[in-house]
Each structure stands twice: as C-alpha cells, then as structure tokens.
Amino acid sequence: MSTARSAARPRTRAVLPEDKSERRAAILRAAGVLLKQAPQGAFSVDQLARRAGLAKGTVYLYFGTREEVLLAVHSERQQDLFDALEKALSSPRADIRLVVRTVARFLRTHPEFLPLAANCRGMLETNIGTEAALAYKQGVGARLAGIGTRVEALFPIAKGQGIGLLMASYALMIGLWQISDPPECLAAVMERPDMRLFRVDLEKQLSSALVNLWEGATIRGNGRAT
Amino acid sequence: MSTARSAARPRTRAVLPEDKSERRAAILRAAGVLLKQAPQGAFSVDQLARRAGLAKGTVYLYFGTREEVLLAVHSERQQDLFDALEKALSSPRADIRLVVRTVARFLRTHPEFLPLAANCRGMLETNIGTEAALAYKQGVGARLAGIGTRVEALFPIAKGQGIGLLMASYALMIGLWQISDPPECLAAVMERPDMRLFRVDLEKQLSSALVNLWEGATIRGNGRAT
Amino acid sequence: MSTARSAARPRTRAVLPEDKSERRAAILRAAGVLLKQAPQGAFSVDQLARRAGLAKGTVYLYFGTREEVLLAVHSERQQDLFDALEKALSSPRADIRLVVRTVARFLRTHPEFLPLAANCRGMLETNIGTEAALAYKQGVGARLAGIGTRVEALFPIAKGQGIGLLMASYALMIGLWQISDPPECLAAVMERPDMRLFRVDLEKQLSSALVNLWEGATIRGNGRAT
Amino acid sequence: MSTARSAARPRTRAVLPEDKSERRAAILRAAGVLLKQAPQGAFSVDQLARRAGLAKGTVYLYFGTREEVLLAVHSERQQDLFDALEKALSSPRADIRLVVRTVARFLRTHPEFLPLAANCRGMLETNIGTEAALAYKQGVGARLAGIGTRVEALFPIAKGQGIGLLMASYALMIGLWQISDPPECLAAVMERPDMRLFRVDLEKQLSSALVNLWEGATIRGNGRAT
DNA sequence: AATGAATGAGCATTCATTCAT
DNA sequence: CATGAATGAATGCTCATTCAT
C-alpha cells in the first residue's frame, strides 16, 4: 500500500526489569483500550502494537502469540474479580447477598469482562502455547482453592464443594451473557414484541440465579451439593 | 467480465418439496458427521458439500452462509433437548431429579451438542443474516415459553420465573462445559496434580449445580427467584 | 437459501413466430430496464429472467450467452442512432451542425447508450460466439456503408472517407465518455478545485470535437481526410 | 479464530526508500510482462507476485488492490506519452504533423498501451480506492494543463481549448482502438470480404482523424473549438 | 532490544450455463 | 417450449508470525 517509509526509529530500549514489565504493561493497556471497541478481541496485532507505541515485532518479544495477549488481559481482569470476591468474603458481614452484589458490581464496572471471558476457551483452543495456558490455569486454580476454602468456612456446604460452587457461579456468568447479549445481526429487531423474551436484564437475572444457586447449595443437608 | 463455464454432471434433482427437504437434511447430516471431528465447526464448505455428495454451490441453494448451516444443526439439536425436557415434565413423576437426569442423559448421548452450543453466539455474531437469526431465536423463544409455563405449573416458583430458570440452566450447561472441557493445548498436562482442580466430571458437577439452582429457586417464598 | 419452493408453473408457450419474437423482445426490454440501474450491464441472468417474467433457462433459448443479450440491446440502440443519422442526412438542410446536433440529441435522450457502447468491445472479447459477433458487425457494416456513402455525397470529402469519418466520430463519442464520466470512487471528490479539469460537459465537448473533426475533414483539398 | 502460520523464507528486504521503489518497480515490470500476454490485464495476483519473485502478500505492501497495480502501469505509460508529446511540442519544428507522428510512433512502439488505456475507466470503477484514483487523475490533470497551455501557445486556438483538444485526441485513440481491434471471436472471419470494412489500419485512420481534428480546431475563427 | 518487510496459507461465495423433468 | 436445480471454476485479500537488519 505505502511506498517509501522512513527508516526505523526504535523506542528507547527496555533493559532494566522494571522497564520490561512496563513495556509488557503498555501492551496490555493498549489491548484493554482496543477491547472496549471490539469486545471480542477482533483487532490486529498491528493495531495493538501501534496503539502501544511499539512495532509489531516487539509485541512478540513479550508475548508468544496474539491470543496470549488476550489471555493475559483476561487473566488480569479475572484476578481482579477474585480480589473483589476475596475481599467481600473477608468482610464480617459476608453473606450470599454480599457475594452476589460484589459480582454484580464488578460486572457493571467492567463491561468488557464477560465478552472476553466467554471467548477464553476459544482462545485456549486456538493459538495458545501449553506454557501460557498452564500458567493461566494455575493462577486460576490457586485463587479458586483459596476462595473455595473460605466459602466452605463461611457457608454450610460440604468440604470440597466450595470450588464447585465458584465454578458454577462463573459458568452462570459467562453462559448468561452469551444468551442475553444480543448479537449485531439482531440489534435492529430486538424491539419486536416476540423478542421480549430475549431482552434480558443480565444483572438482574444473574443475581437472581446466583442467589438461587448459592441458597440451593447451602440448604441444610445439601452436603451432596455442587 | 465473466467467462464461459464448463458443463456439469448434476446429481438427481430435488424438484418436489419433500425431495428438497431431504437435500437440506442431507447437508445437515453431513455437517453433523464433520462436527464429530471438529466440534467447533472448523470445516470448509467444500468438505461439507463433498461429504453430502453435492457441489459447493448447491449448499448455497439451501443455506445462506456456512454459519447458517451450523446454526441449523445446533437449532435441531436444541429442539431435541427441548423435546426431551418437555417429555420429562409431562411425566407424572416429574421432579427436579428427573429434569436434571434428563439433561444429563441428553448431554451424554449428544456429546457434540455443547461445543456447538457454546459457539452459538459467536456464529450469530459472525456471518448470519438477520432473517436466519430471527427464525432461530423465535424457535427457541416459543419452546422456552411453553416449557417455562410448564415449569411454573409444576414447581413452586413465581409466575414468569420459569423461563429465567430455564435460561440459567442452559447458561450453566454451556458455561460449565467451557470451564471444564480441557483444551487441546493442555491435554498433555491434565494429569499433573496441580491440574486436579480442572479435571472436572462435567455430568456430576452440572447435575449438582442444576439441583442447587432449581432447589434454590423453589424454596418456599423464593418468589424473587431466578 | 430457500428451502421448499413450489413446482414449476410455465408461462404460456411461444409457438408462433410472432410469439417467439415477442419473447425475445421481452428479454431485451427487461435488459433495457435493468441497464438504467446498472449502465455497465452488471446484472445477473437471474435478475434479467425474473424481470422478463421468465425462468433463467428460457433466456438461453433465445440467446446464446448473457453477453449476447447485452450485445443485442446495444445493437438495437446503435441502429436507432444510425436511423437518426440517416434521417438527418436526408434532410434538405443537412450540414455538419445538423449531424452534430442529431448525435447530441440522441445521446441526451439515450443516456444508457454510451456506457454500454463503451463496453461493447469487452463484451465481444469476453463471451460472445463468432456467429453473434459476426451478425452484429455485419449489421453495423451495412449501415456504415450506406451512411458513409451519403456523407461522401453531401460533403466535400474523398470517396471512401465517409466510413472513416463515421468511425472516428463514434470513437470520439465512446472515448470522451470514458474520459469524462466520473467513476464511483471519485464521486465524492469531483467538487474539489483540482478536479475542475475533469468536470467535463460531455455534450458540449463532444459537439465541439465533432465539429472540428468534420470541418477538418471537409476543408477543401483535404482529400487525405480521416 | 486464527491458526499458527508456518515460517517464511523471505527475499532480501527493501529497507531503504530506494530499495522500496525498486521493489515497487519490479512489480510494475512484472505486470508489464504479463500485460503482453493478457493485454486486458487478465492475470491473477498470484501470477503477478510469482513473476516478480515475491509472495502474494508483498504485492499488497506496495499496492492496495490488484487494479491499483494495473492503474499504476497505465499511469506510467501515459506519462511517457505525455513526455513524448511535450518534447514534440518543444521542438522548433512543432506542428500538427509532428504531433500526430509522435502519437503514432508512441502507439507503434507501445502496443500494450491502448488495450490497457481502454480499460482504464473500468478499472477505476471496479476496485480502486479514492486515494489512488485521485492521485492518478491529478497526475493526468497536471500534465494536461501544462501541455494544453503549450498547445494554445503554438496553435491558433482559443485560450482554454488546449486541454479539450488533448482530451478529444485521447478519446479518439482509445475509441478507435476499441472499434478497430478485432476481438478474439472474430479472428477467424476477419478475412471475409464483408469484414473488409473492419480491417482498419489503426495508425493510418487515427493519424488521419487526428489531423482533421486538429486542423478543424485551428481553422481561423474557430474560437469555439474542441 | 526493536523494528517492520516479507511471507503464504486459507476459504467463502458468485453466477453463467446446462439439462433432466 | 419452459423450468429451475445443480454445477464448480475461479481468486483477491488478510494478518499472525518470522527474522534480517
């Protein structure tokens, strides 16, 4: 397309470890910005690099593949969710309502979270190295274990069921989003009366379902639960 | 602009409406077969046509786009699930356990269902006309309404909550599958002890979560449910 | 795309010769209509047939290829131009001005003529049988000869130069159209001052050029003309 | 969505601006070669790239679309024609004969020029970005203005008519080629006596017509000219 | 470390034409 | 004669990734 571009003008080099992680962070930040416009992650590496003020090749110095960048963004956000959850569970007033409200607030303030989260498995399947996938899963596992234990301590559920409850809750989040978020091609007809069923208020439905799930799991004797 | 095309050696012609439906069905059947090898639908139209014993162009006589074929397969399967559900709810012994067992049995006998279902929103977003998407959604909506009403009649939940409960259940299915199905790139390391957390028995976990969800929704006074 | 269409409902059959030419004429008429919307002939055989109230296959009973339909339309229009020209040259007041005015009026009242005419060679090259091409050329040749002779009788040009003058005039028409008609991709920028050069008034420029050409050809002693 | 791509074995890299121009030129050169065999530009991007010793994608680093390559070739040749014309008009012996002879010689030595030139509008209409089209037109406009002024200075025509005369001359060139160049499908029958009319000696006819046009335009008092 | 030029696999879709009915 | 189902060739373009500089 272009004809004559000027020669390379490299950025300052990141030599120190802190510079390096700053570079990495810059890429993730840029991805975060682009994710707002294309929640499914439909932007090119070129766009990403340019937005981060770097060259395409540089991205590959910090990440193995395009999808690993997305996974890293997702992972960060997910850890934030875990943080919020852990904090809520540490509160003296911790109960199901608080947990559910915490999740709801997180999703409300991070609208780009669910589209990416729903894509997560697709990303893993597509173009991510074992190493990165493993690291991600281990990160998730560690938090799940910690928070799961806390849940088991706080609520009357059988030992070992906390993690399952958390997983089911997460499944509910991404699954409900997939059902309720109207795709582009239906945007124009969502107002029709026969589409009323699908004009779902995600926050409300999800909160309701989470309450049910958690209450169902904590009914006395529900030791077999989740 | 154009060039003279060479001759063709067509298959027998589907002239009658019933022959045409059979052609259409043949394409869906072929897609079903390919879906076993590529659960995410990663096969080319060419493969699909060849498998159906047709020319590529013929596929486009019966479907608008590649993705509409996949959507049609998914839609059919989903209607099967609705059938099973409706049948279970018609049984005199209908209760939560039966519903959950019905779902579990369906998923066990239709292992290709969830991968495709989890892809559904992506397909809608990608390359599906409003018309086809609308038809799909309407088909789902009609069944949801019918079955939801039945649920409300059978179980002590508030009027209008049946559909929400069904949706949440469906969300749980596709969400848990996404979490629990190990991606290709992790297949080799799933045996590691730190991956134990993710060696989820989908049927068991899902059944447990569904029971919790439905019991939580049907606790007396849970009118605000799901 | 569609699924079940109803069986064939053939039109009445054209058995008599006059019915047949009426069918043929209907196709040409339909092409004429479509040509207004897509002056370059960018419509499909399917559209054409539908517009003519016929099935696709029927078009091929009356014409060998898609392009032969277009050629036939063009040929008809061109014969109309020849008619107008011949009539003008028969007038007692026949002179260069009248000839030029006649051409200008024809083009003004047949705006779809030049786009198609400019495409003519492309059509011949692309997908037209020798037979149809030959018939077209012979039709043109006969008129050229007739009108050329008339020109030679009316104006002081050497014997045999009439045809050349006509050909050059025709070349001027299609060539100037190609230069002056702004392509789609420039529509938005034609108003810019640096595009002023290309905002050509075709009728004016063509008339002017034709006058020059014919006057140049008829200058006394210009026996070497055109 | 994406898949890991395989490695590449690139040619030497064009880093410096001059290397890049050379790359670009190499592509144009390759197009020129292919144009000899397919004067209408009927070759694939793949062929083009291979002939230039590059990968398909590389072509798109230097040009936006296939058609923009063709337009660039045409533009170059056209500038050559302008050069020849300008040189001729600078000669102390500049007169109509010299101009016409210059054009004739150019066309004789550049037989691939007219087929492509006659295609130019089609290309612009088909697949060319506004930017490239604009650049082309501006390039043409600048030369037309310059040469047109020179023509007005040399010949007794009204101010501002030079460009019109040039345009009409160009129209004559491409128009006459379209009429006179026998299409493939008529090659076998061109020898028939009734085709005599169409066995046109392009150079002779064009020269004759150009002389007429220019003489007609320069007749004293022809201020209304072209 | 940073750059960005080069690579090339990958694929849905159209539509003129045929010919069985 | 009329129909319209079936055919299948034909191809531009994107973009993740590599690696020479």
Question: Do residues D186 and C124 touch, judged by C-beta distance below 8 A?
Answer: yes
| Residue C10 pLDDT exceeds 90 | no
Rounded to whole angstroms, the distance from the CA of residue C226 to the C1' of nucleotide F14 is: 52
b/e string for C165-201 if b means 16 or more Cβ within 10 A?
A: bbbbbbbbbbbbbbbbbbbebbeeeeeeeebebbebe
Q: How many CA atoms lie within 13 A of B59 on its CB side?
A: 25
Does residue A10 lie in a domain region? no
Question: Do residues A27 and A34 touch, judged by C-beta distance below 8 A?
Answer: no
Does residue A96 lie in a domain region? yes
Select the residue of B170, B195, B208 nearest A226 (Cβ to Cβ).
Answer: B208
Domain check: are A211 and A172 in the same one?
A: yes
Q: How many CA atoms lie within 13 A of D137 on its CB side?
A: 27
Domain check: are C50 and C74 in the same one?
A: no
- pLDDT tens digits along D162-171: 999 999 999 9
For each of chain A's 226 residues, which pLDDT tens digit applies?
A: 333 333 345 667 777 777 778 999 999 999 999 999 988 889 999 999 999 999 999 999 999 999 999 999 999 999 999 999 999 999 999 999 999 999 999 999 999 999 999 999 999 998 999 999 999 999 999 999 999 999 999 999 988 899 999 999 999 999 999 999 999 899 999 999 999 999 999 999 999 999 999 999 998 444 443 4
Select the residue of B119, B172, B184 nearest A175 (Cβ to Cβ).
Answer: B172
* CA-closest candidate to residue B23, choices C2, C9, C46: C2
Chain C CB contacts of D181 below 8 Å = 121
b/e string for A152-178 if b means 16 or more Cβ within 10 A?
A: bebbebeeebbbbbbbbbbbbbbbbbb
Domain check: are C113 and C52 in the same one?
A: no
Interface of D with A in 42-71 (CB under 8 A): 60-64
Range(s) of the domain holding residue B37: 16-62
Average pLDDT, chain B: 91
pLDDT of residue C39: 86
- pLDDT tens digits along A120-163: 999 999 899 999 999 999 999 999 999 999 999 999 998 889 99
pLDDT of residue D10: 61
Select the residue of A1, A3, A6 nearest D60 (Cβ to Cβ).
Answer: A1
Does residue A117 lie in a domain region? yes
Domain check: are B130 and B212 in the same one?
A: yes
| Residue C153 pLDDT exceeds 80 | yes
CATH number at residue A152: 1.10.357.10
Does residue A124 lie in a domain region? yes
pLDDT of residue A4: 34
- pLDDT tens digits along B98-121: 999 999 999 999 999 999 999 999
Domain check: are C80 and C31 in the same one?
A: no
DSSP state of C189: G
* CA-closest candidate to residue D70, choices D22, D136, D147: D136
Rounded to whole angstroms, the distance from the CA of residue D129 to the C1' of nucleotide E7 is: 25
* CA-closest candidate to residue C185, choices D167, D139, D132, D69: D132
Alpha carbon distance A171, A176 (integer Å): 8
Instruction: Show which subunits contact A, needing at least 3 CB pairs below 8 angstroms.
Output: B, D
Which of A62, A80, A96 is the last residue in one of the domains? Answer: A62
What predicted TM-score, i.e. pTM, was given to this entire model? 0.88
Chain B CB contacts of A165 below 8 Å = 209, 212
Asked whether the beta carbons of residue D17 and residue A2 sit closer than 8 angstroms, the reply is no
And the tokens for C137? 């050329």
What is the average per-residue pLDDT within C25-54?
Answer: 94
Does residue A56 lie in a domain region? yes
Does residue C28 lie in a domain region? yes
- Which residue minimizes Cα–C1' distance to F15? A44
Rounded to whole angstroms, the distance from the CA of residue B72 to the C1' of nucleotide F16 is: 31
Does residue D171 lie in a domain region? yes
CATH number at residue A28: 1.10.10
Burial of D136 (0-12, 13-18, 19+ CB in 10 A): buried
And the tokens for D114? 């007219």
Alpha carbon distance D144, D150 (integer Å): 10
What is the average per-residue pLDDT within B64-89?
Answer: 97
CATH number at residue B27: 1.10.10.60
Question: Do residues C198 and D120 touch, judged by C-beta distance below 8 A?
Answer: no
Which of B33, B62, B91 is the last residue in one of the domains? Answer: B62
DSSP letters, A92-153, are TT--HHHHHHHHHHHHHH-TTHHHHHHHHHHHHHHH--HHHHHHHHHHHHHHHHHHHHHHHH
Question: Do residues A49 and A58 touch, judged by C-beta distance below 8 A?
Answer: yes
Q: Does C40 touch chain D (CB under 8 A)?
A: yes
DSSP helix/strand/coil, C101: helix
Domain check: are D97 and D19 in the same one?
A: no
Identity at C52, one-letter amino acid code: A
Domain check: are B58 and B77 in the same one?
A: no
Domain check: are C121 and C152 in the same one?
A: yes
| Residue B1 pLDDT exceeds 50 | no
Cβ atoms < 10 Å from Cβ of A26: 17
Domain check: are A156 and A56 in the same one?
A: no
Domains in chain C: how many in total? Answer: 2
- Which residue minimizes Cα–C1' distance to F7? B8
What does each C-alpha distance from A202 to A85, A170, A182, B152, D98 come to in angstroms? 19, 14, 11, 21, 80
Domain check: are C104 and C126 in the same one?
A: yes
Identity at D45, one-letter amino acid code: V
Q: Does D205 touch chain C (CB under 8 A)?
A: yes
Cβ-proximal residues to B201 (8 Å cutoff; 6+ apart), any chain = none
Nucleotide nearest to B13 (CA to C1'): F5
Asked whether the beta carbons of residue A121 and residue B212 sit closer than 8 angstroms, the reply is no
What does each C-alpha distance from D37 to A88, A148, D51, D87 come to in angstroms? 75, 73, 13, 30
Domain check: are B48 and B145 in the same one?
A: no
Domain check: are B23 and B123 in the same one?
A: no
Asked whether the beta carbons of residue D138 and residue C174 sit closer than 8 angstroms, the reply is no
State the residue for tokens 């597509």.
A126
State the residue for tokens 């030595």.
D109
Does residue C181 lie in a domain region? yes
Select the residue of A145, A175, A188 nearest B175 (Cβ to Cβ).
Answer: A175
DSSP letters, chain D, are ---PPPP--------SHHHHHHHHHHHHHHHHHHHHHSTT----HHHHHHHTTS-HHHHHHH-SSHHHHHHHHHHHHHHHHHHHHHHHHHSTT--HHHHHHHHHHHHHH-TTHHHHHHHHHHHHHHH--HHHHHHHHHHHHHHHHHHHHHHHHHSS--TT-HHHHHHHHHHHHHHHHHHHSPPGGGGGGTTSGGGGGG---HHHHHHHHHHHHHHHHHSTT-TT--
Cβ-proximal residues to D95 (8 Å cutoff; 6+ apart), any chain = none
- pLDDT tens digits along B152-207: 999 999 888 999 999 999 999 999 999 999 998 999 999 999 999 999 999 999 99
